[in-house]
């Protein structure tokens, strides 16, 4: 592999240095809230079998999803004060 030209390496290191000084680091950076943060409010496991040869090979996906949605809708709603 050929080495990169020195000018290119210099610009890359300068850019990385500028980025690292502006951004918060460590735990404070993780705990900082942003409007575009993604929050997972619900998680549910489903049955799983070996692809095309397991115990669910003859069960259509929409049938399994319907059962999962029914089970999820039977659970009590989330408290809005929790987040």
Please write the tens of the pLDDT for every residue from 24-83.
Answer: 688 888 888 888 888 777 777 777 777 778 888 888 888 888 888 888 888 887 776 655
The pLDDT, as a whole number, for residue 34 is: 87
Tokens of 52: 């095309």
Neighbours of 59 (CB within 10 A): 13
Tell me the mean pLDDT in the region 6-27.
59
Question: Is residue 83 domain-resident?
Answer: no
Question: Is residue 12 domain-resident?
Answer: yes
Domain that holds residue 43: 6-77
Question: Is residue 82 domain-resident?
Answer: no
Tokens of 30: 């993780």
Q: Who has greater pLDDT, 58 or 21?
A: 58
Question: How many structural domains does the chain have?
Answer: 1
Question: Is residue 1 domain-resident?
Answer: no
Question: Is residue 17 domain-resident?
Answer: yes
pLDDT of residue 4 exceeding 60: no
């Amino acid at each position: 592999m050929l080495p990169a030209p020195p000018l290119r390496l210099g610009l890359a290191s300068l850019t990385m240095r500028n980025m690292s000084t502006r951004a918060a680091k460590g735990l404070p950076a993780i705990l900082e809230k942003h409007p575009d943060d993604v929050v997972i409010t619900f998680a549910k496991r489903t049955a799983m079998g070996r692809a095309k040869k397991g115990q669910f090979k003859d069960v259509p996906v929409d049938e399994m999803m319907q059962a999962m949605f029914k089970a999820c809708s039977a659970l009590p709603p989330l408290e809005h004060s929790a987040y």
